[in-house]
């Protein structure tokens, strides 16, 4: 074993092999993979190894397309060919119109990535898969690229090509400890000696937390037992004369693919089982869990009914192995939160199909600092401190039980609820709140008109439409109160805090005490990395002079890593998170000043406290920090209250609000109002694939600032001109909101992709944001939107159509 290398990848399953291969593809050859046993001896060797192109967002579709293209290349490589059945096709079945509508949306979304799915009816499903019955079937989504691969050959081929490019692979070498040095490099101890490395990668499959513990990290990954069986030959398959397409069934929770002349059928039973929660035997390698077909009887029956041929043949082999899950079902691929020079590619539950793409995007992040797609949907920092293996296990069970049932918009499943609450969550519940979950926080979505109000799961506007309209109306005409919990907040102190922040933001963010400003952070490629407000609070009995950095609810770990990575040892700057200590009560509407004045001493007049001011005060007797900022476009105040005083502040505001028709409102009303104001959402509209000029943030960029992160790259980008433009659109239907990912078209060709959409209740229009080709970005340009298969007209409009002069906000 060599004594030093650039990167040590720990784990030789598909995840580790793909990462190693792609590191060499990105130009790093001094890289090493360490595997405790043989390559693929974890989960990979016994995988059903289906490779689909289907994904539920564009990043997932893009990375899966990369897998498919790479695997085809490896299949055709005469030097080390890999067995890959590409293009058998696959059907995701559906028996409800709502599922079919979802598939039509995913088809619209994938088209923007150059991938075509077909949505077909039940008869066509049966024509393409002659073994299935059409009973209780409406149709399905067809992915023509579906297939399966030999997972061991695939991993070996990736390792082979990586070795050829200079990488080294050490098998039968167990990593036993990790030590990080002051310069952020690592020493990796193994039972075969130690190796120093700049960077380590955890690719340890179900042993993820054994290696996590070596670096003091607890990854939210849990394992489930998962079974499939392989049948004897089925005459219908031999007679068909073509390979059977793959099937994935959300009706009865199984999948199947052809294996020789029989079928491989895998199950997602309701009576499912976590695995390895109390530790894993060191001897578990190339191993399986005991068969337990009794457990899958509930779903087996559904498979038999759909494919009666299964009842006529015997079972040749059963495989039961561990498979990893995360809190939201997507893997953790990227930088490990709170660590430097440490990455992971873990929590893969479809790792053979996706592994090619994940390894590719991870290698790009390691080598270049960013991948070509925005990788937030797989970023390990998208969960924050509340996530642990206990919570993950609950979500893993739920996810396993719903494997092929995609989430609908506004659907929040019951497992692991209440992970993060505030002292007023029970009060909101008593008020009739419907909750959404934001990074574990229970956040009010709207106040239900009746306790048994449950809108249907749908991609269309749902039954809550009028409820939200009424909440918006009260904010517009009177005053509303909304709890915004979990909003990310850092306190930045030290005499050099403004110098530091100036370097982080691409524009001028206010340095004046008592003032609030909005700014954007770029990465080194000049692309949009983050968005934050800065509020400058003068020294007081509550603390020294400080800047409060506020950003999106899930951004805490992401933004903290980014800010800390750019702190300079010779600057006096300290950053601490107060995200979990404070909650915001938003008071919005023309009567909000009256309510604030009635419960808080001091002069809250426009002259004394204009828009974009910040002031410490008391709400009743509860200490609070008030900012004059507005996401709704009405006169509004963000009231930041320590959680210990939240109930007191809430009670004071409710009491003061009685005289002014104060009513509660929730996140869905906020969403509607922000669309009318042209305000953007981090990681929906603000992504690393576009620079601030493309994102229509020109007014927040000051290129004449001597320096800021991303400036040089941005200057070059500006010279080259934009590739896309961010626009606002009016959509000509009142049936369905524009859904993120949906494709905009002109004459049948894709010209843009929706990022956000919602009904603007104050202006009575269906609104959307999108990135579109520059040639179609002018106001007035007409195009069509594929909205769940309905082709509807869309037109570019000026941004922020409600109160464009901001007169109401400044009133
Ligand atoms: C029954 C079943 C069917 C499946 N079907 C499919 C499918 O159809 N399609 C699909 O895409 N996915 C499928 N999967 C999931 C897929 O197989 C996994 O997502 C994938 O194999 C995970 O790969 P990995 O590299 O992350 O983990 P693993 O394959 O488990 O590799 C991790 C490696 O790390 C090594 N390691 C651990 N600790 C150390 C250490 N301390 N030092 C050195 N090395 C260490 C292990 O020995 C192991 O080789 C299936 C899984 C199961 C169980």
Residue 308 pLDDT: 97
Mean per-residue pLDDT of the chain? 97
Residue 584 pLDDT: 98
Host H or E run for residue 408 = none
Per-residue model confidence as pLDDT tens digits over 716-735? 999 999 999 999 999 999 99
Q: Is the CB of 11 under 6 A from ligand 1?
A: yes
Number of the ligand 1 atom closest to the C-alpha atom of 353: 11
Q: Is the CB of 356 under 6 A from ligand 1?
A: no
What confidence category does residue 208 fall into, taking pLDDT thresholds of 50, 70 and 90?
A: very high
Residue 513 pLDDT: 97
Q: Is the CB of 109 under 6 A from ligand 1?
A: no
What confidence category does residue 669 fall into, taking pLDDT thresholds of 50, 70 and 90?
A: very high
Residue 148 pLDDT: 98
Cα–ligand 1 centroid distance for 200 (angstroms): 18
What confidence category does residue 419 fall into, taking pLDDT thresholds of 50, 70 and 90?
A: very high
| CB distance 690 to 771 below 8 Å | yes
Residue 615 pLDDT: 98
Q: What is the DSSP string of 343-375?
A: EEEE--SSHHHHHHHHHHHHHHHHHHSS-SS--
Beta bridge partners of 84: 149
Q: Is the CB of 664 under 6 A from ligand 1?
A: no
Per-residue model confidence as pLDDT tens digits over 477-513? 999 999 999 999 999 999 999 999 999 999 999 999 9
Residue 444 pLDDT: 98
| CB distance 381 to 334 below 8 Å | yes
Q: Is the CB of 351 under 6 A from ligand 1?
A: yes
Number of the ligand 1 atom closest to the C-alpha atom of 14: 25
List Cβ neighbours of 216 (8 Å cut-off, separation of 6 or more): none
Tell me the pairing of strands 479-484 and 582-588.
antiparallel
Cα–ligand 1 centroid distance for 141 (angstroms): 27
Model pTM score? 0.97
| Three-class SS state of 105 | helix
Per-residue model confidence as pLDDT tens digits over 444-477? 999 999 999 999 999 999 999 999 999 999 999 9
What confidence category does residue 74 fall into, taking pLDDT thresholds of 50, 70 and 90?
A: very high
Nearest CA to ligand 1 atom 20: 351
Q: Is the CB of 326 under 6 A from ligand 1?
A: no
Nearest CA to ligand 1 atom 52: 47
Query: Ligand 1, residues 18, 19, 47: which to mutate, most atoms within 8 A of Cβ?
Result: 47
The DSSP call for residue 399 is H
Q: Is the CB of 206 under 6 A from ligand 1?
A: yes
| CB distance 318 to 293 below 8 Å | yes
Host H or E run for residue 730 = strand 724-731
Per-residue model confidence as pLDDT tens digits over 259-313? 999 999 999 999 999 999 999 999 999 999 999 999 999 899 999 999 999 999 9
Q: Is the CB of 694 under 6 A from ligand 1?
A: no
Q: Is the CB of 221 under 6 A from ligand 1?
A: no
Residue 714 pLDDT: 98
Q: Is the CB of 319 under 6 A from ligand 1?
A: yes
Helix axes 14-25, 151-164, angle to 10 degrees: 30
Residue 427 pLDDT: 98
List Cβ neighbours of 249 (8 Å cut-off, separation of 6 or more): 92, 93, 255, 302, 303, 306, 404
- CA 685 to CA 687: how far, in whole Å? 6
Q: Is the CB of 250 under 6 A from ligand 1?
A: no
Determine the length of the chain. Answer: 811
Cα dist from 391 to 68, 396, 750, whole Å: 33, 9, 41
Cα–ligand 1 centroid distance for 207 (angstroms): 10
Cα-Cα-Cα-Cα dihedral sign, residues 6, 351, 405, 752: positive
320: nearest Cα among 348, 288, 343:
288
Q: Is the CB of 211 under 6 A from ligand 1?
A: yes
722: phi > 0 → left, psi -120 to 50 → alpha, else beta; which? Answer: beta
Number of the ligand 1 atom closest to the C-alpha atom of 354: 11
SS (HEC) of 157-181? HHHHHHHHCCCEEECCCCEEEEEEC
Query: Mean pLDDT over residues 642-649, rounded?
Result: 98
Number of the ligand 1 atom closest to the C-alpha atom of 324: 19
| Three-class SS state of 655 | helix
Strands (E) in 392-478, as ranges, are: 433-438, 441-447
Per-residue model confidence as pLDDT tens digits over 374-384? 999 999 999 99
Number of the ligand 1 atom closest to the C-alpha atom of 173: 43
| CB distance 144 to 116 below 8 Å | yes
């Amino acid at each position: 074993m060599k004594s030093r290398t650039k990167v040590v990848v720990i784990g030789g399953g598909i995840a580790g092999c793909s990462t190693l291969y792609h590191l060499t593809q990105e130009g790093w050859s001094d890289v090493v993979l360490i595997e405790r046993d043989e390559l693929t001896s974890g989960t990979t060797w016994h995988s059903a190894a289906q490779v689909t192109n289907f994904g539920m967002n564009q990043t997932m579709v893009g990375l899966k397309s990369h897998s498919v293209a790479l695997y085809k290349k490896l299949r055709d490589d005469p030097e080390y060919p890999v067995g890959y059945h590409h293009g058998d096709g696959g059907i995701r079945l559906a028996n409800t119109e709502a599922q079919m509508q979802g598939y039509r949306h995913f088809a619209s979304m994938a088209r923007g990535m150059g991938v075509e799915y077909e949505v077909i009816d039940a008869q066509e499903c049966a024509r393409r898969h002659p073994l299935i019955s059409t009973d209780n079937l409406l149709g399905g989504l067809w992915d023509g690229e579906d297939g399966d691969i030999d997972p061991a050959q695939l991993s070996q081929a990736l390792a082979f090509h990586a070795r050829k490019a200079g990488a080294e692979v050490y098998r039968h070498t167990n990593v036993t400890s990790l030590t990080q040095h002051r310069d952020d490099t690592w020493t990796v101890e193994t039972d075969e000696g130690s190796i120093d490395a700049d960077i380590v990668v955890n690719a340890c499959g179900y042993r993820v937390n054994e290696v996590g513990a070596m670096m003091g990290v607890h990854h939210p990954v849990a394992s489930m037992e998962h079974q499939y069986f392989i049948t004897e030959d089925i005459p219908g398959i031999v007679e068909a004369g073509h390979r059977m397409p793959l099937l994935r069934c959300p009706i009865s929770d199984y999948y199947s693919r052809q294996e020789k002349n029989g079928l491989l059928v895998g199950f997602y039973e309701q009576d499912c089982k976590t695995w390895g929660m109390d530790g894993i035997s060191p001897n578990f390698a190339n191993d399986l869990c005991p068969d337990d077909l009794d457990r899958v009887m509930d779903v087996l029956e559904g498979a038999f009914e759909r494919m009666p041929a299964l009842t006529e043949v015997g079972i040749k082999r059963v495989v039961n192995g561990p498979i990893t899950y995360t809190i939201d079902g997507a893997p953790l691929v990227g930088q490990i939160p709170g660590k430097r020079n440490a990455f992971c590619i873990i929590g893969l539950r479809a790792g053979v199909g996706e592994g090619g793409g994940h390894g590719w995007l991870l290698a790009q992040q390691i080598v270049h600092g960013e991948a070509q797609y925005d990788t937030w949907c797989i970023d390990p920092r998208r969960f924050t401190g509340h996530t642990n293996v206990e919570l993950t296990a609950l979500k893993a069970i739920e996810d396993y039980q719903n494997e092929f049932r995609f989430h609908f918009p506004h659907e929040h499943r019951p497992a692991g609820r209440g992970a993060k609450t505030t002292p007023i969550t029970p009060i909101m519940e008593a008020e009739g709140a419907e909750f959404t979950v934001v990074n574990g926080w229970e956040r009010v979505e709207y106040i239900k008109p009746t306790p048994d109000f449950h809108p249907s799961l749908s991609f269309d506007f749902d039954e809550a439409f009028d409820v939200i309209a009424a909440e918006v109306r009260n904010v517009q005409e009177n005053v509303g109160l909304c709890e915004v919990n979990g909003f990310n907040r850092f306190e930045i102190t030290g005499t050099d805090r403004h110098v530091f922040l100036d370097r982080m933001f691409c524009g001028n963010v206010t340095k004046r005490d008592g003032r609030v400003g909005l700014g954007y952070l770029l990465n080194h490629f000049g692309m949009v990395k983050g968005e934050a407000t800065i509020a400058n609070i003068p020294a007081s009995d509550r603390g020294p002079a400080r800047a409060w950095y506020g950003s999106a609810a899930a951004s805490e770990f992401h933004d903290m890593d980014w800010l800390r990575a750019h702190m300079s040892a010779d600057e006096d700057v300290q950053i601490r998170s107060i995200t979990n200590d404070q909650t915001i009560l938003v008071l919005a509407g023309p009567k909000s000043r009256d309510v604030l004045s009635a419960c808080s001493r001091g002069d809250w007049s426009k002259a004394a406290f204009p828009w974009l001011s910040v002031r410490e005060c008391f709400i009743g007797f509860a200490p609070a920090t008030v900012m004059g900022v507005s996401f709704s476009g009405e006169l509004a105040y963000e009231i930041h209250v320590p959680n210990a005083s939240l109930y007191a502040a809430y009670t004071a505001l409710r009491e003061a609000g009685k005289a002014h028709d104060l009513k509660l409102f929730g996140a869905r009303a906020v969403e509607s109002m922000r669309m009318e104001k042209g305000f953007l959402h981090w990681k929906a509209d603000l992504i690393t694939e576009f620079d601030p000029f493309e994102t229509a943030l020109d007014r927040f960029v000051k290129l004449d600032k001597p320096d800021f992160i991303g400036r040089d790259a941005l200057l070059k980008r500006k010279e080259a001109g934009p590739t896309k433009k961010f626009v606002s659109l009016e959509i000509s239907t009142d049936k369905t909101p524009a859904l993120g990912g949906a494709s905009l078209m002109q004459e049948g060709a894709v010209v843009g992709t929706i990022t956000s959409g919602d009904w603007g209740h104050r202006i009575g229009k269906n609104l959307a944001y999108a990135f579109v080709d520059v040639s179609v970005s002018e106001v007035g340009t007409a195009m069509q939107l594929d909205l769940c298969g309905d082709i509807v007209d869309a037109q570019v409009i000026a941004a922020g159509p409600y109160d464009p002069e901001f007169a109401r906000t400044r009133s």
